[in-house]
């Protein structure tokens, strides 16, 4: 199985989109998206310096546009799974078919502007805590009145909150850990961003999303999301909720992902995958930074897609597990039964309690792909829904 990953803020580099503008139609596409995002994406991706593209209001739509621009040159119909880090989730949602590209870029523009405005309300920041025991690190972060805003895996947790509290954390780091301040505008993915979440929710309410056409992982808990409306709600909630990239990495491992492509500006997520998913069975990785990398990316998709020809194994009408646990199908629901959209077909018993599994489309229950008490991972296919009789 192959996964395509969309990076988040902090991965941008001056001029990283310059070679992409040589491709036919690329500049026109960026100018159209610039009108939607309210920023000049062509300038930001080519001529802007590091300080200019560090501005949250500019960076967020730039990153989403870059990922979507590059993905247009890949055979995405052969990709089974997508995920994004922080604002990269908007790009991933578009690649999964939940949002049109135009909606993803527009929301990224709103998200960036509103988060920049929230950062200006009071002095806050973020710091990377590298190493140490994860539980001890989180406890130390919370003891200083800070928030674990990003749990990225590979021994990296990001603390966020008031600047004086970050200074105290740096002066008293957790055992076997070091603290490095990040050059960001404020405390992203914390309650400090509540005004931005409210503003984004107001715009997102006008979107009519589709259900994912492939496995789409959520930063909230690493789970696969079956329903478009739920994904939009999660995208809004993620403005103030921690990014659990560590759980997304765990899901990649649980699903046996063998190939990974990181969209531009690539490198950050690829390095996390390398450090976390290592040893036997480690996935093959391609970092897609320029059009020169496209042949390698296409080759990786051809060899690792896990799909038969151009017909996806994981399709719109495959219901996947929303969480890790033990699956229990509805006792009186047999193959051949007629299902309606939204109907509960079973549940997954997790450590936090049962999670309902629902059909995202109406049709015939043609085949159970998991059975009673089977252990399942997030994103694992549970049932196949066919057309109506």
Which carries the bigger pLDDT value, residue 320 or residue 325? Answer: 325
Stated length of the chain:
389
Return the CATH number at 172. Answer: 3.30.70.250
Q: Are 198 and 289 members of one domain?
A: yes
Q: Is the pLDDT assigned to residue 334 strictly greater than 80?
A: yes
| pLDDT (average), residues 308-320 | 50
> Would residue 286 count as lying in a domain?
yes
Q: In the structure encoding, which two tokens stand for residue 265, read together?
A: 């500006």
> Would residue 310 count as lying in a domain?
no
Would you say 99 and 204 are in contact if contact means Cβ atoms under 8 Å apart? no
The C-alpha atoms of residue 192 and residue 180 are separated, in whole angstroms, by 21
The C-alpha atoms of residue 301 and residue 80 are separated, in whole angstroms, by 10
Unique residue bearing structure tokens 């990181």: 262
Enumerate residues 6+ apart whose C-beta is below 8 A from 64. Answer: 6, 87, 88, 90, 91, 94, 104, 105, 108
- Phi, psi torsion values for 130, nearest 5 degrees: -110, 130
Cβ burial of 223 (10 Å; 0-12, 13-18, 19+) is buried
Would you say 55 and 116 are in contact if contact means Cβ atoms under 8 Å apart? yes
Confidence at residue 147, expressed as pLDDT on a 0 to 100 scale: 97
The C-alpha atoms of residue 32 and residue 382 are separated, in whole angstroms, by 40
Q: Are 162 and 256 members of one domain?
A: no
Task: With 0.85 as the threshold, say if the pTM is over it.
Answer: no
| pLDDT (average), residues 165-187 | 94
> Of the listed 147, 189, 227, 304, which one is catalytic?
189
Q: Is the pLDDT assigned to residue 369 strictly greater than 90?
A: no
Q: In the structure encoding, which two tokens stand for residue 323, read together?
A: 């969480």
Confidence at residue 305, expressed as pLDDT on a 0 to 100 scale: 80
Q: Which residues constitute the domain of residue 126?
A: 121-181
Enumerate residues 6+ apart whose C-beta is below 8 A from 19. Answer: 290, 291, 292
Q: Are 345 and 295 members of one domain?
A: no
Read off the pLDDT band of 294 (50, 70, 90): very high
Q: Is 228 helix (H, G, I), strand (E, B) or coil?
A: helix
State how many domains the chain has.
Answer: 3
Which carries the bigger pLDDT value, residue 127 or residue 280? Answer: 127
Unique residue bearing structure tokens 């049962």: 354
Q: Are 221 and 296 members of one domain?
A: yes
Confidence at residue 313, expressed as pLDDT on a 0 to 100 scale: 38
Unique residue bearing structure tokens 């390398």: 274
| pLDDT (average), residues 111-128 | 96
Mean pLDDT of the chain: 91
Last residue of a domain, one of 280, 304, 328: 304
Confidence at residue 387, expressed as pLDDT on a 0 to 100 scale: 59
Would you say 261 and 92 are in contact if contact means Cβ atoms under 8 Å apart? no
pLDDT tens track for 36-57:
999 999 999 999 999 999 999 9
Q: Are 147 and 252 members of one domain?
A: no
Q: Are 228 and 289 members of one domain?
A: yes
Which carries the bigger pLDDT value, residue 362 or residue 123? Answer: 123
Tell me the CA distances in angstroms from 388 to 220, 337, 338, 339, one per residue in order.
Answer: 34, 10, 8, 9
> Would residue 236 count as lying in a domain?
yes
Q: Are 89 and 153 members of one domain?
A: no
Which carries the bigger pLDDT value, residue 284 or residue 183? Answer: 284
Confidence at residue 310, expressed as pLDDT on a 0 to 100 scale: 35
> Of the listed 6, 11, 86, 218, which one is catalytic?
86
pLDDT tens track for 70-116:
999 999 988 999 999 999 999 999 999 999 999 999 999 999 999 99
> Would residue 309 count as lying in a domain?
no
Tell me whether residue 189 is one of the annotated catalytic residues.
yes
Return the CATH number at 335. Answer: 2.40.50.100
Which range has the worst mean pLDDT, 123-132, 273-282, 314-323? 314-323
Confidence at residue 317, expressed as pLDDT on a 0 to 100 scale: 62
Confidence at residue 9, expressed as pLDDT on a 0 to 100 scale: 93
Read off the pLDDT band of 315 (50, 70, 90): very low
Percent of the chain beyond pLDDT 90?
75
pLDDT tens track for 232-270:
999 999 999 999 999 999 989 888 899 999 999 999 999
Q: Are 255 and 363 members of one domain?
A: no
Confidence at residue 385, expressed as pLDDT on a 0 to 100 scale: 82
Other C-beta atoms closer than 10 Å to the C-beta of 336 total: 11
Confidence at residue 389, expressed as pLDDT on a 0 to 100 scale: 39
| pLDDT (average), residues 199-218 | 94
> Would residue 186 count as lying in a domain?
no
Beta bridge partners of 131: 177
**What ranges in the chain are assigned the alpha helix state H?**
26-37, 41-46, 50-54, 56-71, 88-95, 101-119, 134-143, 163-171, 194-204, 228-237, 245-254, 268-276, 294-304
Q: Are 239 and 96 members of one domain?
A: yes
Tell me whether residue 372 is one of the annotated catalytic residues.
no
Q: Are 195 and 127 members of one domain?
A: no
The closest of 6, 13, 17 to 291, measured between CA atoms, is: 17
| pLDDT (average), residues 370-378 | 87
Q: Are 274 and 322 members of one domain?
A: no
Q: In the structure encoding, which two tokens stand for residue 26, read together?
A: 């690329």
Q: Are 97 and 241 members of one domain?
A: yes
Tell me the CA distances in angstroms from 212 to 95, 97, 100, 224, 231, one per residue in order.
Answer: 9, 5, 12, 10, 9
């Amino acid at each position: 199985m192959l996964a395509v990953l969309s990076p988040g803020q902090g991965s941008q580099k001056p001029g990283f989109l310059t070679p992409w503008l040589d491709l036919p139609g690329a500049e026109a596409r960026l100018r159209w998206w610039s009108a939607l995002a309210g920023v000049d994406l062509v300038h930001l991706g080519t001529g802007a310096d590091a300080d200019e593209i560090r501005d949250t209001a500019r960076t967020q739509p730039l990153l989403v546009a870059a990922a979507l621009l590059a993905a247009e040159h890949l055979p995405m119909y052969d990709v089974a799974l997508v995920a994004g880090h922080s604002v990269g989730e908007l790009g991933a949602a578009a690649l999964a078919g939940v949002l049109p590209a135009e909606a993803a870029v527009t929301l990224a523009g709103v998200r960036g502007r509103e988060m920049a405005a929230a950062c200006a309300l009071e002095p806050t920041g973020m710091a990377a805590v590298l190493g140490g025991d994860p539980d001890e690190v989180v406890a130390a972060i919370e003891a200083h009145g800070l928030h674990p805003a990003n749990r990225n895996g590979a021994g990296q947790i990001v603390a966020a909150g008031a600047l004086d509290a970050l200074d105290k954390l740096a002066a008293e780091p957790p055992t076997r850990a070091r603290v490095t301040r990040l050059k960001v505008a404020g405390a992203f993915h914390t309650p400090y961003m509540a005004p931005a979440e409210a503003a984004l929710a107001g715009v997102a309410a006008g979107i009519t999303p589709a259900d994912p056409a492939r496995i789409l992982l959520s930063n909230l808990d690493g789970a696969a999301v079956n329903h478009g409306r739920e994904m939009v709600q999660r995208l809004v909630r993620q403005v103030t909720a921690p990014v659990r990239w560590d759980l997304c990495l765990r899901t990649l491992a649980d699903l046996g992902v063998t190939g990974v492509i990181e969209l531009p500006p690539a490198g950050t997520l690829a390095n996390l995958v390398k450090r976390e998913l290592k040893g036997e069975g480690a996935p093959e990785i391609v970092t897609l930074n320029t059009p020169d990398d496209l042949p390698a990316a296409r080759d990786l998709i051809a060899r690792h897609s896990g799909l038969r020809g151009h017909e996806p194994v994981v399709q719109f009408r495959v219901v996947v597990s929303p969480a890790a646990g033990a699956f229990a199908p509805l006792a009186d629901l047999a193959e051949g039964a007629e299902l309606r959209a939204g109907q509960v077909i079973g549940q997954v018993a997790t450590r936090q309690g049962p999670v309902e599994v629902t059909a995202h489309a109406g049709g015939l229950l043609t085949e159970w792909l998991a059975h009673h008490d089977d252990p399942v991972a997030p994103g694992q296919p549970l049932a196949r829904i066919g057309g109506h009789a």
